[in-house]
Amino acid sequence: MEHLALIIDYGIIGILLFLSVIALGIGIERFFYYKKIKLQDFRDKKELEIDLTKNLYLIATIASNAPYIGLLGTVLGIMLTFYSIGQEGLIESKKVMIGLALALKATAIGLLVAIPASAIYNFLLRKVREKLALWEIENGRERI
């Protein structure tokens, strides 16, 4: 069961940190791309939309799944705590509380990854809508 503690500490939390770097990297790349894009280079609105939304699904996927990955770490941590209690045969509240507190860190990190990823996704989606609206205005295709 000691391997389970390593899986929680390095596996689950490592995956969450890796996902946060991916979401942040895509967010930064998309932000700078939106700043330099030339709308007149696109003849078709769908082509523009495909180009603007490239890789946004990854940020949305990270935002929606990071809490579940954190929850998996918490469940594994609680299982480890209960296993340790069963092995020792003694119920010492200090050990139980430390084990549960450590188990909950995975959920906390999952939320710390999901909340900014969700904000980045919504920010970028707003920029996509602005660019599409500007393209329609520039091409005289504004629909009322």
**What's 12's DSSP letter?**
I
Question: CA-based angle 135:40:58, to the nearest 5?
Answer: 65
- Specify whether the backbone of 142 is left (phi greater than 0), alpha (psi in -120 to 50) or beta: beta
Question: Would you say 129 and 56 are in contact if contact means Cβ atoms under 8 Å apart?
Answer: no
pLDDT digit string (tens) for 6-58?
Answer: 777 788 999 999 999 999 999 999 999 999 999 989 989 999 999 999 999 99
What average pLDDT does this structure show over 118-144? 88
pLDDT on residue 17 = 95
Compute the C-alpha angle 137/141/144, nearest 5°.
90
What is the reported pLDDT for 141? 60
CA dihedral 116, 27, 124, 67 (to 10 degrees): -30
Predicted TM-score of the model (pTM): 0.84
Of all residues in the chain, the percent with pLDDT exceeding 90 is 58
